[in-house]
Amino acid sequence: MNSERQLLIELRDCAFGYGGSAVVEGVHFGLRRGDFIAVLGPNGGGKTTLLRGLLGVLKPVRGQVRRADGLSFGYVPQREGLDPVWPVSAMEVTLMGAYRRARWRMGLPLPRAERERAVACLARVGADGLRRRLFAELSGGQKQRVLMARALMTQPDVLVLDEPASGFDLPAQQELLELLHQMNKADGLTIVMVSHHFAGLQPLVSAVSWVHKRRVESGSPDRMLTPSKIQEVFSP
Amino acid sequence: MIQTLREILAPEFLLHNSVVASLLVGFVCPLVGMFFVLRRAVLLGVALPQVSSAGVALAFWLHALGIHVLGHDETERGTALVGSTAFTAVALAALALSERRGSGPVEGRTGAVYAVAAALAVLFTARNPSGESHVTSLLKGEIVAVADADLRLLAVVYAAVILLVAVFRRQLVLVSFDRNMAETLMRRPWGWDLMLYGVFGLTISIGVMIVGPLTLFGFLVLPVLAVRPWASGLFSLAIASSLLGGVTALAGFALAYRADLPVGPTDVAVAFAVYVASAGARQVARS
């Protein structure tokens, strides 16, 4: 079944890092259309570095990266990285997802269709009531939804989320996972999610990649989320 | 006060060029200063005008020594423009390069640039045989004596600044607000950083010559700080800061004219009073 779906990204024996030295190495990774992959591991293990490599923002120190032609990403960054000093409304943040399409408009206002699309994206993630609110004044969960709406605005092939549930309590984490699961199953969206939480993931994701001790190990959720595997990853 | 405003706004007013120059600086600087404030680079907004001033002081010193960068028929203002632009461009390039290499905290580098620029401005001025007071008054910004040619230059450069910010605002905002997202959507996000630095350089190098570093910094930052707590979005912040800058410039000029005070410091004092009033009103509104 898996082999019938289009291969979007393939990493072969890749190493990613900074200044020529690898943070993660020996990475073999494949992402197919319709996958929902959780990239898990302890803090500081190199999950974000791997994510930047997948996005193409970071070039591999070694190895080979293949991406499908014209592949587009909808990126949801860690919300704590966005400075609350910016007085941007949720609508303005969502519309940033249209900036690539609007790059030749040379300062002209965005077309009405883009604004309607932004409203639809906000509605898709249950944030349509937040349009006029300042992004900085939203709760963590509301910010996360707005950032997801912005990522959807890019009309991506792959939705990439960096620690979306960080700082959430368990019910909020579960609610977010349910929403992502829905987007994966109902909308057919391919998802890669970096997280250091793994509770409740097993029935929702199609694969799990552990990033620990500079290596990446991937497999089915049944195989990768066993108590012994989790103990192995988190043992010193 | 109304009578004073009528007087200074009349086309036949002796200092008409100075009023227009003040208004241009007041309207345009907050549009650029918005990026200094929101990128938390206010220190850069202090340092760059000082760097520009050091360039002006060096150019005047060379001019007084008979060394003419633009040939023998160059004017004092032309010399100042070359010095101001060259120093600002070099400082911006050095800061941008060190930022890309990530060498040390950015505040430390910017502070060091400010300190050395302030010291150089004093040293170049002290060595100038033309007289310290003359150069010092130029560095403070001779806002009461703006020649037609200077006003035209200011208008053209600031029109270009408005055009660049208006046309490329989305790219400049994205690269400033969310670097990670910009990297996934743009091929060369650092190119937009470079453009923004270019806009900073243009605004500052010409502005320092007309109004001096103190006034320029005041207009870059204070109107934005006063408006930001009330802004409901970036567009409203830009428009309201620009309008406030213009109104402050006019009120400051009128007050300085009426009370026989230096225009630049009066402008800054008025802008600061508005900022304090805004912060106080915001506190009351929240309580």
Domains held by chain A: number: 1
Does an H or E element contain B182, and which? helix B179-185
Beta strands at A62-67 and A190-195: parallel, antiparallel or unpaired: unpaired
B181 touches chain A (CB under 8 A): yes
The answer to whether residue A149 sits within a structural domain is yes
pLDDT tens figures, A3-23? 578 899 999 999 999 888 889
Output B282 or B133, whichever has higher pLDDT. Answer: B282
pLDDT tens figures, A134-147? 999 999 989 999 99
pLDDT surpasses 50 at A160: yes
The answer to whether residue A10 sits within a structural domain is no
**Residue % of chain A over a pLDDT of 70:** 98
Measured between CA atoms, how close is A45 to chain B, in angstroms?
19
pLDDT surpasses 60 at A206: yes
Nearest to B180 by CA among A102, A74, A222: A74
Which residue in the block uniquely carries the two structure tokens 């609007």?
Answer: A102
- Region B214-237: mean pLDDT is 95
Other beta carbons within 10 Å of B105: 9
pLDDT surpasses 50 at A58: yes
pLDDT surpasses 60 at B142: no
**Residue % of chain A over a pLDDT of 90:** 63
| Average confidence score pLDDT of chain A | 90
pLDDT surpasses 60 at A72: yes
Residue A131 is encoded by which pair of tokens? 């349009």
* Mutant choice from B101, B172, B178, B187 vs A, greatest count of A C-beta within 10 A: B178
CB pairs under 8 A between A and B: 69
Nearest to A51 by CA among A157, A205, A163, A204: A163
The answer to whether residue A98 sits within a structural domain is yes
**Residue % of chain B over a pLDDT of 90:** 48
Amino acid B13: pLDDT: 87
Residue A61 is encoded by which pair of tokens? 């120190």
Backbone angles phi, psi at B257, to 5 degrees: -65, -45
Minimal-distance CA residue of chain B relative to A101: B185
- Region A105-119: mean pLDDT is 91
CA quadruple A120, A78, A213, A40: dihedral sign = negative
B186 touches chain A (CB under 8 A): yes
- Region A171-180: mean pLDDT is 89
Backbone angles phi, psi at A225, to 5 degrees: -115, 30
CB contact under 8 A, B186 and A75: no
Output B227 or A201, whichever has higher pLDDT. Answer: B227
Amino acid A1: pLDDT: 47
Between CA A147 and CA A153 the distance in angstroms is: 10
Nearest to A201 by CA among A187, A180, A229, A228: A180
pLDDT surpasses 70 at B131: no
The answer to whether residue A142 sits within a structural domain is yes
Range with the poorest average pLDDT among A103-107, A153-157, A163-167:
A103-107
Please provide the distance, in angstroms rounded to a whole number, between the alpha carbons at the two ends of chain A: 37
Cβ B107 vs Cβ B197: under 8 Å:
no
Residue A171 is encoded by which pair of tokens? 């019910």
Residues in contact with A117: Cβ distance below 8 Å, sequence separation at least 6, in sequence order: A98, A153
Amino acid B70: pLDDT: 64
**CB-CB neighbors (< 8 A) of A106 in chain B:** 167
Between CA B284 and CA A208 the distance in angstroms is: 52
State the Cα angle at B41 between A79 and B95, rounded to 5°.
Answer: 110
Residues in contact with A11: Cβ distance below 8 Å, sequence separation at least 6, in sequence order: A27, A28, A29, A30, A53, A54, A60, A63, A64, A65
CB contact under 8 A, A55 and B183: yes
A→B interface, C-beta within 8 Å:
55-57, 73, 75, 77, 81-83, 85-89, 91-92, 96, 99-100, 102-103, 106-107, 132, 134, 150, 154, 160, 162
Residue A9 is encoded by which pair of tokens? 């990204």
B106 touches chain A (CB under 8 A): no
User: A80: pLDDT confidence band, cut at 50, 70 and 90?
Assistant: confident
Between CA A198 and CA A230 the distance in angstroms is: 9
When CB atoms are compared, the residue of B40, B181, B228 closest to A83 is B40
CA quadruple B73, B77, B80, B81: dihedral sign = negative
- Region A99-126: mean pLDDT is 90
Amino acid B220: pLDDT: 96
Residues in contact with B181: Cβ distance below 8 Å, sequence separation at least 6, in sequence order: A75, A77, A96, A150, B174
Amino acid B122: pLDDT: 86
Domain that holds residue A130: 83-154
Does an H or E element contain B102, and which? none
Residues in contact with B41: Cβ distance below 8 Å, sequence separation at least 6, in sequence order: B35, B106, B110
What does the longest C-alpha to C-alpha distance in chain B come to?
64
Residue A221 is encoded by which pair of tokens? 């959720």
- Region A85-113: mean pLDDT is 91
| Average confidence score pLDDT of chain B | 88
- Region B223-231: mean pLDDT is 96
pLDDT surpasses 50 at B107: yes
Between CA B22 and CA B92 the distance in angstroms is: 25
One-character DSSP codes across A7-49: EEEEEEEEEEEETTEEEEEEEEEEEETT-EEEEE--TTSSHHH
Which domains, and CATH codes, for chain B? Answer: 2-286 (1.10.3470.10)
Task: Tally the residues of chain B.
Answer: 287
CB contact under 8 A, A96 and B38: no
Surface-to-core class of residue B188, CB atoms within 10 Å of its CB (0-12 exposed, 13-18 middle, 19+ buried) = exposed
Measured between CA atoms, how close is B134 to chain A, in angstroms?
41
B191 touches chain A (CB under 8 A): no
The answer to whether residue A114 sits within a structural domain is yes
The answer to whether residue A219 sits within a structural domain is no
Range with the poorest average pLDDT among A43-52, B74-83, B176-185:
B74-83
Residue A170 is encoded by which pair of tokens? 């368990």
Surface-to-core class of residue B160, CB atoms within 10 Å of its CB (0-12 exposed, 13-18 middle, 19+ buried) = middle
Distances (CA, A) of B111 to B95, B115, B193: 11, 6, 20
Please list the residues that pair with A211 across neighbouring strands.
A216
The answer to whether residue A150 sits within a structural domain is yes
B160 touches chain A (CB under 8 A): no
- Region B78-92: mean pLDDT is 87
- Region B43-57: mean pLDDT is 89
The edge-to-edge listing of strands for the beta sheet with A36-40 is: A73-76, A158-162, A190-195, A36-40, A207-212, A215-219
* Mutant choice from A48, A57, A86 vs B, greatest count of B C-beta within 10 A: A86
**Residue % of chain B over a pLDDT of 70:** 91
The answer to whether residue A170 sits within a structural domain is no
pLDDT surpasses 80 at A212: yes
Output B240 or B64, whichever has higher pLDDT. Answer: B240
* Mutant choice from A9, A96, A106 vs B, greatest count of B C-beta within 10 A: A96
Which residue in the block uniquely carries the two structure tokens 């199953």?
Answer: A185
User: B132: pLDDT confidence band, cut at 50, 70 and 90?
Assistant: low
